[in-house]
Structure 1
Amino acid sequence: MQDALERQRIDTWLWVARFVKTRALAVDAVKGGRVHVNGIRVKPSKEIRPGDRIEVLVGEDRHRIDVVALARRRGPATEARLLYDEREEDRLEREQRAEERRLARPTGFEGAGRPTKRDRRRYEAGPGARRKR
């Protein structure tokens, strides 16, 4: 997968490295200012090289990565992971924020799958509603 490319468009690289699902989403991310190359906001046509530092905001996660390699086509995630390096402290910080978001999620029908019709009716009735037996 790792071909000897000298330059590659940032939008294509983000798609190949699996930070986004489609090229169109990569273009939208770059145009929306969620991607910086070497500290500078860029356009989708910006060409990157190995050694460039990229900062990508994907959802609530901020990825600070160094480009290691470029690729001609999108491949499996295991190969895509070889295209960049992420600092250990950045990865730990991102994982900690993800854990905090997970713990802050509202509880409810968590772990029970979809609510049943009976569960839904109880939920919609509210806490002070009388229940039939």
Structure 2
Amino acid sequence: MADFSYGKNFRLLSASDFEYLRSENSIVKSKCLRIYFKPSRLDQNETRIGLSVSKKVGPAVIRNRTKRILKEIFRLEGPKDLGLDLMVVVSPFLYRDYKKIEDAEDSLKGSFKKLLKEISGQYDRKVIYSTH
């Protein structure tokens, strides 16, 4: 049976990891998300992700559901072998712009998938240009 867990090796855990991403980073953004990314400081090929969902997004139930959705998309479709660190920041306006929670979640999913593809494309180009 395949292991679909979201282990510690795929998570940013320490404050120093988040500080590393805040300084001199690359960023992609959409209406409801910002993703900061850099090559990982660790000697590993795995992409790690950290999530920042402010209390302004909504009550704990909404914040936790948002994090679960993002983790699941990353687990299934994220760039796992680029050796990047990603910090995902969710806009507090995500759920305010929609009347239905389902519409906001659909927007979140679409934006996150699009930004992950954009990061993969940018990073692939950087790798290609740096090797020639």
More RCO (CA 8 Å, sep 6+): 2
> Which protein is bigger by CA-based radius of gyration?
1
TM-score (norm 2): 0.29
